[in-house]
Amino acid sequence: MRSCRFGLSLLAILFFGNLSVLRAQSTAAPPPSAAKPEPASFERLDGLLTQGKIVDGVRELSALAFAPAPLTSAQEEILRRAVGAGRRHLEMGGASVEERNASRQLVCLARARFLEELPDPLGPDGQPAPPLRIGNTLSRAHPPELIAQIRPEYTPEAREKQVMGTVILEAVIDREGCVRTARVLKGLHYGLDESSIAAVKNWTFNPATLNGEPVKVYYVLTVNYQL
C-alpha cells in the first residue's frame, strides 16, 4: 500500500539539543462496505459551537480545512464564532490539557481561513516588533510545541511521477500558536510545495515563550513525502 509520511523537523536543534522528528503515517481508507461518515459542514460546526462541544467542533473544522474558498459571509461569521469560543475556553481556569489544546486548535483552524492578525507589541522604536529568531541570543526562549497537524495531500501528479523527498518551510508562528505565513526554503514541485503550505497553515502549536510570555517567532518546519 502506498502511503504519505510527513513530519515536523525542528531545525532549532543547534540551540536546543537533540530534538526528535515527529512523524505520522496516513491511515488506510475504510473498506468499501464501511459506512461513510456524513460530510462535514459549516452548519454542523455552528451547531456544535452552540452546544459548547469544542472537541467535536475541532473534528468538524479539521475536515473543513481544505474546503473550497472563498467563504460566504455566513461561513466566515461561523469561523469568527469558533475563534471567539476557543479564546474564551483558553481564558477559563480549570480546563484540562486536552481541553486547552482543543480550544487552541479551534482558534488556529478557524484563523487559517481568513486574514485576522493579532496586533503586534511595539518595539523600542514604537514600531510593531517583528517575529523573533530563536537562537543563541534568545537562549531563554522556549520554542513552539506542536499540538496538532493536518496531513498534507500527496498530489496525483507527484504520485504518478514517484516524487519523494522533503519540503522545508520557514513559517511564522504567532502568539496564539497559529501558523500565519509560510515560505518554501527547499521544494519538491509537482504541487507538493503548495500542498505543504496549505497543510502547515492548519497546524497548531503551543506558542513560543520568552520570559514566560508568548512571542511570535520564525520557525522551520519540514514535510516529508514517501511512497
pLDDT given for residue 136 in this prediction? 54
Could you tell me the pTM of the whole model?
0.79
The closest alpha carbon to 54, from 11, 115, 103, 104, belongs to 103
How many domains would you assign to the chain?
Answer: 1
Q: Are 65 and 110 in contact (CB under 8 A)?
A: no
Strands 132-133 and 217-225 come out as parallel
The closest alpha carbon to 114, from 69, 47, 58, 49, belongs to 69
Distant-in-sequence, close-in-space partners of 184: CB < 8 Å, separation ≥ 6: 167, 168, 169, 193, 196, 197
| Joined grid coordinates for residue 97 | 490539557
Residue 149, domain extent: 5-25+40-225
- For 92-166, where are the alpha helices, taking DSSP H only? 97-111, 156-160
In a domain, 209, yes or no: yes
pLDDT digits (tens, 9 = 90+) for 148-175: 999 888 999 999 999 999 999 999 999 9
Q: Which residue has better confidence, 123 or 100?
A: 100
The closest alpha carbon to 59, from 39, 74, 78, 29, belongs to 39
pLDDT digits (tens, 9 = 90+) for 46-101: 999 999 899 999 999 998 887 777 888 999 999 999 999 999 999 887 778 888 99
In a domain, 35, yes or no: no
In a domain, 211, yes or no: yes
In a domain, 30, yes or no: no
In a domain, 61, yes or no: yes
- How many Å apart are CA 175 and CA 173, to the nearest integer? 7
Q: How many CB atoms lie within 10 A of CB 188?
A: 20
Q: What is the CATH number of the domain that holds 71?
A: 3.30.2420.10
In a domain, 34, yes or no: no
| Joined grid coordinates for residue 163 | 516524487
In a domain, 33, yes or no: no
In a domain, 98, yes or no: yes
